[in-house]
Amino acid sequence: MGTRAKTKKVKDAGEARQDVLRKVAASKELSFAEKGKLYHWDRPVCQGDRVNSKDSPNCLCALIPPPNGVRKQGLWCKTPEAVSALGEDPTFRKRVSHDDPIGLTNLGATCYVNAILQCLYMNADFRKGLFCTEEQLLEGNPVLRQLCRLFVKLQLSNEDPVDPAVFAKTLQLDNGVQQDGQEFMKLLLTLLEKLLEQSAQPDVRNLVQGLFRGTFSYVTRCSVCGNESDSSKNLVDFYELEVNVKGFEGLATSLDDYLGEELLEGDNQYMCERCNARVDATRSVKLRSLPPLLNFQLKRFVFNNKTATKKKVTSRFSFPISIDLHSRLTPEPQAPSSSEPEWVADGSSEGLYDLAAILVHKGAMATSGHYIAHVKDERTGDWWQFDDELVTSLGAHPLGEAAANASAKAAKEAKENGQKPEEKEGGGENEKDAKGEESVGPSKAEGVAAAEVLDPNLLTSADSYMLMYRRRDARQVAIMQRQEERRRRKAEADAKKLEEERIRADAAGKETKRKSEGEGREKVPKRARTGKAAKDEVAGTSAEKAISLDSPAQGSREGVHTNGVGEAGNGGKSQNGVHGSELLDEVETIEAPEALVREVENDNVAFDAAIEAYKSERERIEAEVNQRRREVREILAEAAADPKEYDFRWISTEWLRSWADNKDPPGPIDNTPLLCEHEGVPPRSVPLMKRINKVTWAELDERYGGGPELTGEECCVECIRQDASAAQSADSFRTRRTLMRERLEQELALGAPGTHYVSKQWLAQWQRRRLVDAPSDADKGPTAALRCKHEMLKPEFAPGAKRQLVSGEFWDYVQEVAEEVAGTNDPGHWEMTVNTLECATCSVELGEEMSNREGLKSGKLAEKAALEALFAGRPLPLTESVNAFLVPSKWLDSWRDYLGATGKTLDVIGEPPPLDEALAAVFCKHGELAVRPPELVQRKNDLVQEQKDSALTVVSENDWRQLQQRWHSSREITAVVGPPEPKSEVPKESDTKEAAKPACVPRLKTVPEVCEACYKERLDQELAERLSYRQQEIIVELFPGPDPPAHVTGAGGEGERRSRRVRKVSAVRGGRMTVKVNADTTVKDLKMTIWERMEVDSQNQRLGFLKSELDEDDKILADYGIVANSRLWLINTGEHDNRDIVECFEPAEEAGKMENGFRGTGLWGGATSDYSAGEGVQDTDMKDADGSGSADGDGSSEARQLPDKAADDVMGTVSEGEASGRWSCERCTLENSPGRKMCSVCNADRS
C-alpha cells in the first residue's frame, strides 16, 4: 500500500471516530456498532500480514514468524539461545581422517610457533627420534615431554585443531607478542640439543646435530704462492645457512655470493707463513659436509639505521624444488664420522636435495604479519599448507595444482614461441600468460605471493622466509616412483571414464539432439582427450614427470582439497580420487611413546564423550523449544475473535508479544495498563491491547493466571463522554477559526478600513496555518513585533515593524485566543489602534540613522567616481618623465571593499585603517622600504605594473593626493622609471613558472630606497609564516615514464600553465589530485596518503618538488620548502609488487617499542645459539696492521656460520672492503663488522 493510501486510510478512520463522538455528544447514547468504531473491533480479522497493526485489535499478525521463518533472538531464533550457550559444537573439531595432518590453534600471536612446529612434526626422522626418547628423560624435562605429547596429539588425536597452549606455557611464551620465526626455530633446536644430551641412546642424543648440522671452513689462500692457511682445515659447524635476499634474484646467485671469494689487500693483507710477508690473498667459505635437513634462512628483515627499526625486504626471490649441491661441496679427506641417526643415513645422495618445507611471512612490516608453512608429506609426496587451524592440501606442487598447471601452460607456450626458460624470471600470482589470458595462481591468502617461472623446477616468492631441503635417499625415491605409478594408472582410468561418458552422450544425442548436445558439453570438458589420444597424452605426461637423480621433478594431480574446512566430506581425498593414504601400507609407521599414547587415547575418549554429551543436551533443548513453538502456534491459530461477536476478551499486547516471542513464558497476564482512572477500558488503550475469543482467554488464564479479565462490557463510558465533549469543542474552535479567516480575507480583498494594528508577518503566518482543533503557541504575540523598547508603537519604517489594520471583530478574536494561551498580562497582545501614536524617540533615532546612511552612501559614490580608474584596478601607464606613488596593496583591497559595500553589507564592512598606519607597515626601522617595488612589464605600447601579487601598487600623483587628503597620510613613497637592472636576488621557488621577461624592461626607483638587510629579513619571516600552515592543499601529479617533465622541475625554461582541476589517476596516463597537509607532515605520511588514494605503493614512489627529490621519509614538508598550493611530481617506478596498505600500519603502541625477543622465556634462560657454529674455532691467519692476530670465533650463531672475511678491533669500524664480512645482530638484525663483539646500535652481545 502506498504512502498516500495509508495516509488517506488513517484520515478516514479519524473522521469516522470524530463522527461517532459528535453523535454521542448530541444523543448522549452509545450503541454496540458505535463502540465497535471507537474501539476498532469492527475491523476484519487479518490474514497473514507481514506486520502487526496497532490500530486493529483483531490483528494478530507478525506475533510469530511464518512457518519457515526465523528471528534474530528469542523463541524463534534459528539457533536456540540455550544451544548457543552450550558453546561450539565439538563435532566441528572432530578429525576427518588420521591419514591427513591437522592444524594448531593460534593462541593470539603464536602463528610463528605453529608454523615451525608443523615443519618439524612433518619430518618423520625428527619425529621418530623424538619419540625414541626415554620415558625417564621425558618425565624429567617438561619441555621435551610437552613437545612429544603435542606431536603424539598431532598424530593420534581425534580433535582438530590441537591446542598448543600447554607447550607455549611451558616455554613461558607471551601469546600476545609476535616473534621472529627463524629465531624461534634456532632457540628451540638449541634447547632440544641441550636437553637430549642426557639421553643414553646415541641416535636420540645426536638427533639435532645428526639432522641439521653441517660443516664449512674459512679458506684463506695466498695469491702469490697459492698456499692455504693451516686454519683453512678447521671445520666450523652450522645448522642453517643464512643467505641475503636484497640485491639477489634467487638462491643460486645468493649462494654464489655466500661462497664467493673476497680479495684481501691493502690494510687487510694476509700474513703468509710460507712467503713470510704480508701479501694479497683471497678468503672464502668452503662447504665440507651437508646435513640431511638443510635450512636456508632468508634475510628478509634488515635494520634501518636512520629509523633504528627493522624493515622487510619484499623483493621476489626464486628457489628450486630440487637442488644439486655437488658442485658447491668441497669435502675434506679426513671427514669426521657422521652423527646422523641410523634411519636417515642409508642410501642417501650427499649433494642432491628436494624441497621439504617453506616458511612464509605474510605482510609488509617486520614487526607484524602472519606466518604460515607449506610442508611436504614425506609419506605420500603431497604438499600441505598449514595456516594455524586451517590445513589445506596443495597436491603434488608446493604452491598448489593451479600454480603447477599455469606454469606448465606457460612453459609449453614459451617453447612453441621459441622462448628460452631464462627469458622469464617469474612473476606474481594471476599474471597474464603469453596469450594475454589471466593465469590461475594461488591467491595471496595462500601465503606465497609467487608463481613458477618457465623452468618447472624453479619457484618465485616475495614472502618466503625459510627454505628446508631434505637430502634425497632411496626411500624417498621409491615413494615418489610408486606415487607416480599410481597417478599414471589413475589418469588412464580417468581417460577411459571420459571415453565412456562421451559414448553415452553420443547415444543420447540421437534421440534429443539439442538436449544431448547441452549435456555433452557439460559432461565432456572442451579440452579433454579421449581414446588412444588421451592415453598417449597421459603416457607422455608421465614420461616427462619421471623422477631421475639427475633432474628430479615433482608430479602433479588435479584438485585441491581442504582438511576440516570446505570439502571435509570427501574423507580427506583429493578430487581426482588419488590419495596418499594408498601409500601408507608401504611406509614405516612411527611408534609414539606408550605413556603419551595412553594419555592421548584418554583425551580421545573424553573428546568423543563430550561430542555425545553435547549432542544429547542439544537434542533435549531443541525438543523443549519445538514443544513451546507448537504450543504458541496452536493457541494463536484459534485466538481470533469474530468482529460481530460481543462475548470476547481484551488482552495486553505487550504480554501477548512477550509470551509469543520468548523461550521462557512470561509471568501472569497483566491487563492493568489497559485501565483508566475509572477502572474501565478507554478508547485510547486500543493500540495497547488485542481482542481474543473467550476460549483462548480461558486456556491462557488456566496456564498463567493473572488478569483482570476484561470483556466488551468494560468500555469506559465516562472517558467516551469526555472525548465526545472534546470533539465538540474542537469542532466549535475549528468552525469559528474558519469563519474569522474567511472574513479577514474578504476585508483585505475589499480594502476595508480597519481599527486595530497587528504584525504583518504574524498575520501572514496565521493565515498559512492549517486548521487545528485547539489554540497553540503560534497564536501568541499578534502585536509583539510592533512594540518598541519604550513600550510604544514602533515607527512603521523601523526594521521588522510592518503592520496591518484589521477589523475590531478580528482583533477581539485573536486577542481572546492569545490570552487563552499566554495569559491576560502578556505584552505580546497589547491593543494598538489607529489612534495609537508612534514613539517619538524612536522616530528621531531612526531618522538620524537613515540620514547618516544616505550621507555615507553619497560620499562613497563621490569618492568612487573621483578615483574610478583606481577603484576598477586598471594599471597606470608609466613614462620616465612622470612621477608616480606607491600604496600598500592590502590597504587598497580593503579600500575597494569598503567603497563597494552596498545594501546589507553597508554596515558590515567598515572603513579601512588609516593610510599612515598601512604605510608604516612597509617601512623598516631605518626609515627605508622593507619591501621591493613592483616589477614592470611592457604591455602593447604601455609600460605598466605586472599583474601579480605585490606588496605595493603604483598610483598616479592625482590619485595619491586625493587618497592622502581623504585618509590622512604624512608619509609617501615616490617612484620613477629608471634604467634596466639585472635581478639581484634568486627567484623564489613559487616563481619558477613565470614567463621570461625581456631584459630591456626598466625598473622602478623609489624614494626612500629599499633596505636590503630588512628586505631579506622580511622575506625570511614571510617564508617562515608560509611554512607554518595547517590543513592546506598541495597538488600531487602522477606522470608516466621514468622522469618528470622539465617544466615541472623548473628546468625547462618558460613555464606552462596548468589547471588545478583534479583528474582521474592512471598508472599509464597519469593524473592529479589535491591533498590537505600540514607543514610538519612527514614525507612518509604523505607517501602513505598517496598510496591510499592513488594506489601507488610507497616503495615505488619517486616523489619530488621542483628539482628536489623527497627521498628522506623522516623529513617534513617544510624542510623541502613546500608551501600551500605547491605542485609535487610523482613517478611510479614499478620496482616492487603492490602490497595491501593495511599491512603497513603497525599499532601505535608497537611503534618504537624496543624488541626483547625471547628474553625471559624458557628458550632464553640457560640456552645459547651454539648449535650454529663450532666451539672455540678461531682463524689465526687474519692479522691486524701491526701483524698481530685477531680472533674470529666467539660463539655467535650467525657469526660462526657467516663468512667473516675480515676483522677489525673490538667495537672498531669496518672499511669498504670488509662490508661483505659483517654479522647480523640477533635482536635488531643490524649488519655489524666481523670484529665487533656487541651490536653498534642496540648493544646486544654477539653471542
Which residue blocks in 1095-1184 are alpha helix, DSSP H? Answer: none
Please, which residues bridge with residue 270 across strands? 279
Q: Among 40, 361, 370, 756, which one carries the catalytic annotation?
A: 370
d(CA 820, CA 940): 79
Per-residue cell: 282: 683471497
Of 400, 412, 407, nearest in space to 426 by CA: 407
Question: Cell numbers of 668, please?
Answer: 501472569
* 3-state SS, residue 693: strand
- The answer to whether residue 370 is catalytic is yes
CA–CA separation, 13 vs 182, rounded Å?
78
Number of H helices, E strands in the chain: 31, 40
Q: Residue 1062: what residue type?
A: V
Residue 335 DSSP code: P
Q: Is residue 441 a contact partner of residue 403, using CB atoms and an 8 Å limit?
A: yes
Q: Which amino acid is present at 841?
A: T
**Distance separating alpha carbons of residues 1086 and 1103, to the nearest angstrom:** 10
Q: Measured over all CA atoms, what is the biggest interatomic distance in the chain, rounded to whole angstroms?
A: 138
CA distance 149 to 949: 80
Residue 877 and residue 874: Cα distance in Å, rounded?
9
With both helix axes pointing from N to C terminus, report the angle between 594-637 and 142-156 in degrees, rounded to the nearest 10. Answer: 60
756 is catalytic: no
Would you give the distance in Å from CA 839 to the centre of its chain?
69
Cell readout for 369 is 604479519
CA distance 439 to 402: 9
Grid cell 469492527 — which residue? 42
SS3 content of the chain, % helix, strand, coil (to 5): 40, 20, 45
Q: Are 193 and 1197 in contact (CB under 8 A)?
A: no
Neighbouring CB atoms inside 10 A of 1120's CB total: 20
Which of 13, 6, 216, 11 is CA-nearest to residue 686?
A: 13
Peptide bond before residue 753 is cis, with ω within 30 degrees of 0: no
Nearest to 1173 by CA among 431, 236, 63, 97: 236
CB 421 within 8 A of CB 455: yes
Q: Which of 111, 842, 1011, 1225 is catalytic?
A: 111
- Provide CB contacts within 8 A for 549, sequence distance 6+: 349, 352, 472, 477
Please, what is the angle between helix 717-750 and helix 760-768, to 10°? 130
Q: For residues 275, 278, 284 and 288, what is the CA-based torsion angle, rounded to 10 degrees?
A: 40
> Distance between CA atoms of 384 and 391, rounded to whole angstroms?
7
Q: What end-to-end distance do the CA atoms of the chain give, in Å?
A: 81
1082: Cα within 13 Å, side-chain hemisphere: 7
**Residue 749: Cβ within 10 Å count:** 8
Q: Could you count the other beta carbons within 10 Å of the beta carbon of residue 231?
A: 18
- Secondary structure class of 302 (helix, strand, coil): strand
The torsion angles phi and psi of 188, rounded to 5 degrees, stand at: -65, -45
Distance CA 228, CA 273 (A): 10
Any idea which residue has 598448543 for its cell? 164
Question: Helix, strand, or coil here: 356?
Answer: strand
Residue 615 DSSP class: H
Closest CA to 1237 of 1217, 1215, 1204, 1220: 1204
- The C-alpha cell at 1231 is 649488519
Catalytic residues: 111, 370
